[in-house]
């Protein structure tokens, strides 16, 4: 083994890291600015509000990660356990506890099945106006072939509504059976 080859290898790794760090340093501020502007736009769309104030959440619901208060109600970030991994959602809830808008922010479900939640408008349309009483199989139809994912999404929506209405809700793991 040639020591010079190892040094060349390490130099290659260093150059690679330098390029990545330079790209991060150069584009990082722009990316953050655009991300914040996009987030604000989404928050306004989901709630109808204009300005948002982050509130501290000290409740027991494990599904709720962040709460933002706005003029028309709340925007609540929920994280529930899906089929493959956690599903992060933003749920816009009015002051009366009804769903105004829902958007999946992060998920890694099965392609072609649970991942269809990104584009399945019919599923989310049925959640509009709900007040935390959704149940897959009863008053909410699941995404075809993605029952567990659907239950996880509904669990997040119900948690968000329960935050506003003060209803008691179980924040356990997503059910797989039944």
Partner 1 sequence: MKTNERLFSGCAARIVCLSAVLAVSCAALIAAKTLIPALILPRITLCLLAALSLAALWLSDGVFGARGDAIASVVLAAAAFGAASWCVGLAAPADAAVTALGGGAAYAVCLLAFTGARARIGSARLRFPRAALAVFAALAWLAAQGLAGFAVR
- Site residues, partner 1 (CB under 8 A): 1-2, 4-6, 8-10, 12-13, 15-17, 19-21, 23-24, 27-28, 30-31, 34-35, 37-39, 42, 84-85, 105-108
Compute the least distance from the CB of residue 132 to partner 1, in Å: 27
Rounded least distance, CB 128 to partner 1, Å: 21
> Nearest CA to 93 among 151, 22, 43, 20?
43
Q: How far is the CB of 41 from partner 1 (least distance, A)?
A: 10
The helix/strand/coil state of 166 is coil
Closest to partner 1 by CB, 41 vs 54, is 41
Considering the complex, what minimum distance in angstroms separates the CB of residue 108 from partner 1? 6
The residue among 58 and 111 lying less far from partner 1, judged by its C-beta, is 111
Q: Which is nearer to partner 1, 37 or 170 (CB)?
A: 37
Q: Which is nearer to partner 1, 34 or 139 (CB)?
A: 34
If the CB atoms of residues 16 and 128 are measured against partner 1, the closer one turns out to be 16
In sequence order, the 6+-apart residues with CB closer than 8 A to the CB of 54 are 66, 67, 68
Positive or negative: CA dihedral 60, 92, 129, 127: negative
Buried b (16+ CB within 10 A) or exposed e, 137-171: eeebebbeebbbbbbbbbbbbbbbbbbbbeeebeb
Distance CA 99, CA 120 (A): 17
Q: Count the helix, strand and coil residues of the chain and give each as a percent rounded to the nearest 5.
A: 40, 20, 35
CB of 156 to partner 1, least distance (A): 16
Distance CA 137, CA 126 (A): 13
């Amino acid at each position: 083994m040639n020591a010079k080859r190892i040094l060349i290898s390490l130099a290659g790794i260093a150059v690679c890291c330098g390029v990545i760090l330079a790209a991060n340093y150069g584009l990082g501020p722009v990316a953050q600015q655009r991300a914040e502007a996009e987030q604000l736009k989404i928050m306004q769309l989901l709630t109808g509000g204009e300005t948002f104030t982050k509130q501290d959440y000290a409740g027991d619901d494990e599904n709720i990660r962040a709460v933002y208060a706005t003029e028309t109600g709340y925007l609540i970030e929920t994280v529930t356990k899906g089929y493959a991994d956690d599903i992060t959602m933003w749920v816009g809830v009015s002051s009366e506890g009804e769903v105004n808008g829902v958007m999946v922010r992060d998920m890694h479900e099965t392609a072609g099945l649970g991942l269809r939640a990104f584009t399945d408008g019919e599923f989310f349309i049925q959640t509009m106006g709900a007040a935390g009483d959704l149940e897959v199989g009863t008053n909410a139809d699941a995404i075809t072939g993605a029952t567990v994912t659907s239950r996880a999404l509904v669990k997040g929506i119900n948690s968000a509504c329960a935050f506003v209405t003060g209803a008691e809700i179980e924040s356990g793991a997503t059910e797989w059976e039944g």
